[in-house]
Structure 1
Amino acid sequence: MKLVVVSAGLSVPSSTRLLADRLAAAVGRTAAVDVQVVELRELAVEIAHFFTNGFPGKALAAAQEAVAGADGLIAVTPVFSASYSGLFKSFFDVLDKDALVGKPVLVAATGGSARHSLVLEHALRPLFAYLRAVVVPTAVYAASEDWGAEGLEGRIERAAGELGALMAGLSGRPVVSAVGASGAAVDLPAARGGGDGGFEVVPFAEQLAALAPKR
């Protein structure tokens, strides 16, 4: 399965890219994925030119193709003015309007203060809902004080498990394990063995139910 990671970090090194890499690595622990990273800061000029002439440059066209062909997407942005960055929004503005329809997406953001964590719900989730993507229940926000602190890793693993389950459900491939809401490893019924030796795809609702804590 192909996992594309879109990182809108501007600095080098970037906490946004660091979070993106940790999320991608966590997905790789739950499902067999080939990861491709799209660094938006490298596409900034081509994105601007696209808005003025309507034609993508070679690198931007490759990024558009990668996102459209992905089985799943991780989208991470730094917070600017209590929302996603302009570069982040501009990239998704230049995608084909149907590029993300039905595609599993994990959204995440980084910022200097925990007060901006609601950006995930009031900005990122509505954006991808508008684009008709399937956004996983757990979104991940990392403030400056979260790095190295307890709690961030659990959120990363939980979100990655949800994305891996959705990707496997669409492809019909099994997921070995993931981390549930309680932080414990759980087996995911991403696919069941069929009578002909193949796999039967399990509905999203049933896959997500496996991630819920046992009561």
Structure 2
Amino acid sequence: MKLLGISGTIIGAKTGILVKKVLETVKLSYPEVETEYLDLMDYTIQFCDGRPPSAYSEDTRSIIEKVSNADFYLIGTPIFQGSIPGVLKNVFDLIHPRDFRNKVMGFVANGGTYQHYLVIENQLKPIAGFFRAFVAPSYVYANHEHFNENNEIVDPDLLERISRLAEEIVEMQKALKSDQAISIKEQLLIKEEIGR
């Protein structure tokens, strides 16, 4: 199982810190889970314009491949002007919806006010719903008060929510894989019975 953590911004540090903290928590509790951190700051991504994936730049193709091939996701975003940044929306636009279908998504976000957590409810969850992805019930929202002057997470409640989210996304993914394996086994048994 491969968990891809995406820091969906090209500015600021807090989003990446949140994503990395959840990935570290997953690795501590579930060492069998492969994790990968994808920081959009490290790439020059072209705008989605409908061309085939092979026609995009190497950086853009790399993003498409990494996201499409992951088994489940932790998606991090800052909240700017009451919304997600364009670079993250562009990544969603570049990926074919079938590549997100029936995969688990967890969300972390950070913003300047306490109210911006609603962006997760009002924007990110509906996007995941469009993709027919499974969304973890918990999510993590942080603001500047949850970090110290060195951008370290110091709020114990936030750390607890990070642990809960890490557990939920992995356990949901495990249950989903288990259900899919059972379903495939049942289909094979039905075919076997029909063949008799």
Judge same fold: TM > 0.5, yes or no.
yes
| Separation in 2, partners of 1:170, 1:59 | 31
Corresponding residue of 2:186: none
Corresponding residue of 1:196: none
1:29 to partner: Cα distance: 2.8
Corresponding residue of 2:27: 28
Identity of aligned residues (%): 27
Corresponding residue of 2:70: 70
Asked if 2 retains the 8 angstrom alpha-carbon contact of 1:5 and 1:37, the reply is: yes
Asked if 2 retains the 8 angstrom alpha-carbon contact of 1:47 and 1:91, the reply is: no
SS of the residue aligned with 2:75?
strand
Which stretches in structure 2 are left out of the alignment for 5+ residues?
148-153, 184-196
| Separation in 2, partners of 1:46, 1:146 | 31
Distance 1:11 1:150, change over 3 A: same
1:125 to partner: Cα distance: 0.9
Asked if 1 retains the 8 angstrom alpha-carbon contact of 2:4 and 2:73, the reply is: yes
SS of the residue aligned with 1:117?
helix
Q: 2:49 matched to 1:51?
A: yes
Q: 2:4 matched to 1:4?
A: yes
Corresponding residue of 2:171: 165
1:19-168 matched pairs, under 5 angstroms: 19-31=18-30, 32-43=32-43, 45-48=44-47, 50-51=48-49, 55-147=55-147, 148-168=154-174
1:159 to partner: Cα distance: 0.8
TM-score, normalised to structure 2's length? Answer: 0.80
Code of the aligned partner of 1:37: Y
| Separation in 2, partners of 1:69, 1:52 | 20
| Separation in 2, partners of 1:104, 1:84 | 20
| Separation in 2, partners of 1:42, 1:93 | 19
SS of the residue aligned with 2:98?
coil
Distance 1:99 1:200, change over 3 A: closer
Name the larger-Rg structure.
2
1:52 to partner: Cα distance: 7.8
Structure showing the higher helix proportion among its residues: 2
CA RMSD of aligned residues (A): 2.2
1:112 to partner: Cα distance: 1.6
Asked if 2 retains the 8 angstrom alpha-carbon contact of 1:101 and 1:131, the reply is: yes
Structure showing the higher strand proportion among its residues: 1
| Separation in 1, partners of 2:50, 2:92 | 16
SS of the residue aligned with 2:10?
coil
Aligned residue-pair number = 173
Q: Which has the higher contact order (CA 8 A, sep 6+)?
A: 2
1:115 to partner: Cα distance: 2.0
Which stretches in structure 1 are left out of the alignment for 5+ residues?
173-189, 191-198, 202-215
TM-score, normalised to structure 1's length? Answer: 0.73
1:42 to partner: Cα distance: 3.0
